[in-house]
Chain A
């Protein structure tokens, strides 16, 4: 009864605090929007990634009937028409200045430079007619082999150019290739991979709201007033925890919905994602309580909570992957130093659920780790807050 009253009171206070409300609910949505602008290029096809510069020096060839054949132009047209799921695969740009094209490559504004030689048409024609001494044309591809986009574009082009040449020479295909993508990959953009991490990041705002809520109770002496009543410390802490979990429960579908609006391609269960989020909110309450122990006012609570939240979120790999830092191997499972942080498992679980469409069984390890770590963080926060704040009231 008292717990519910405290939960209700905390939610009312949060709701009537526009700044906190905006922080918890609006900021993650804005963040998703900004992330979309920066990274969501999936709906523009691979063309956004696979920008191909082409120097076409082909002079053409005269066919037996006297007609001119421009095989170079035909190849360029063929490349432009290649599509995947209705979207162009290549972003083709014709260039005339080879040096300028190389500079573009160096600046990583294009994936590779394709050079069509002057004898491209003639060589193809000679080979197709069986002219003695005729050899296939030499097409050059220039790019940065360390670039994944280069490797990707090169593998596509290699096959397509060969196919084009074989058709032009009248040869028949001996092997037919089909390309399929793993579920949740291929058409996924950086945005799609990033959304689960952003949802995790959003939930972690609970660290700040918890820290501010608890510091206010102390600074405004309402904690002292509560101590005069029949309410126990556990009533207060459980009540506040439940309120923050409700905030997380509201926030996850909101952030998820916003991501869908921006084109996020979901493959998993929102319910499972919410379970992951709820577990993370428990840990976040614990972190918020720890931050509240060392803050003397609202501002300090927000700052301290913010630092804890950002450091945890970044180290968890929610925003970008962290380098390997193994500390142990248990039952064949490599334990990274980041694995002691609940957000690490939340990010991994959220990504596997939403991006790769995995179920509860597949993320059992992450769920177990989160339950253990979240309870641990919550207990640490509760004990520390009781010792440092409640006993001195």
Chain B
């Protein structure tokens, strides 16, 4: 059985009449990348703020290695490194000064903090910016530095809140690779509203919406839960309505296992074990109803499909 590093039990937080997090119970295992997936406002940040002790829960509790976070001593709190969603830097300190300073705040000696800072800057390609003030860095560099600030004290658990938000493509690749490299040596908790990010980096994903945990499993298991096979998305010429949509679904029922018609987007989504092989028959059936395919895309199931199935909404809605 995997070693539980962090555990939440019935964690609840209200802001006035709004319930930001409701009865959140989960376990994070040692050495895994744990993904928190959900749309903006789902309660991800509130959850991790409670996990790292920044926010006091209204009910429930968080434990790190069995020690409640609210009572945690310095040693226990130092086991967590948090990278907030916003860039939180001292604008007029240089990259190295920031890392050295925050390292000292975690109890490292000045020398150790400096050495560790230099190592980290090297790891995320910021060495040549070591003596540049944070305010002079590009947004992508600031985000990378923001991430390193959570790692100076070599924490056992790294909490990354939307680490890829606002990153340019180059920085995104660097950060993603870096998170994956961390996964081998640390427990990583990542919040994101990006299904690709969660799918690529997380060993297990918790999907959260309106403050409630909807499902928790590996990305593969979650995707399988939606249905086996590939997904074919067919953009349609001509306008659809509810009746024609229903007619199409009935006609394709004998050909494929699942179909969904999005009337508003003029989109037919077909899920089948051999969706590509069934494609000619699907297109013929469409022609018979007087509809033309304007665009055909074949893809695998995504976590977005899981979210849609669970909530009836898309992640970005």
Contact = CB atoms under 8 A, between A and B. Distances in A.
Given A12-B93, A16-B133, A230-B74, A2 B86 contact: no
B82 A228 contact: yes
A256 to B, nearest CB: 29
B166 interface: no
A9 B90 contact: yes
B contact patch SS: loop
Interface stretch (A204-212, A217-225, A356-364): A217-225
Nearest to B75: A230
B104 A1 contact: yes
Nearest to B110: A5
A190 interface: no
A227 interface: yes
Interface string B59-98: 0000000000000001001101010101011111100010
Contacts of A230: 74, 77-78, 105-107
A9 B97 contact: yes
A13 B93 contact: yes
Given A9-B97, A230-B107, A225 B149 contact: yes
B90 A224 contact: no
B93 A9 contact: yes
A225 B88 contact: yes
B88 A222 contact: yes
B90 A13 contact: yes
A5 B92 contact: no
Interface residues of A, number: 20
Contact of A225 (B78, B91, B102, B133): B102
A1 B80 CA distance: 22
Interface in A342-393: 393
A308 B91 CA distance: 27
A299 B92 CA distance: 18
Contact of A227 (B54, B74, B107, B153): B54
A225 B87 CA distance: 11
Contact of A220 (B91, B104, B149): B91
Interface string B235-253: 0000000000000000000
A106 interface: no
Contacts of A9: 90, 93, 97, 101
Interface string A1-37: 1100100010011001100000000000000000000
Nearest to A230: B74
B234 interface: no
Interface string A220-264: 111011111111000000000000000000000000000000000
Interface in A51-85: none
B105 A12 contact: no
Nearest to A231: B105
A226 B91 contact: no
B54 A228 contact: yes
Most buried by A among B53, B101, B107, B110: B101
A296 to B, nearest CB: 17
Interface of B: 52-54, 74, 77-78, 80, 82, 84, 86, 88-93, 97, 101-102, 104-107, 110, 133, 149, 153
22 contacts: A2-B104, A5-B101, A5-B104, A5-B105, A9-B90, A9-B97, A9-B101, A12-B97, A13-B92, A220-B89, A221-B84, A221-B88, A222-B89, A224-B84, A224-B88, A225-B84, A226-B105, A229-B106, A230-B74, A230-B77, A230-B106, A393-B54
Given A221-B84, A222-B88, A229-B106, 7 more contacts: A2-B105, A5-B105, A13-B93, A17-B92, A221-B86, A230-B78, A230-B105
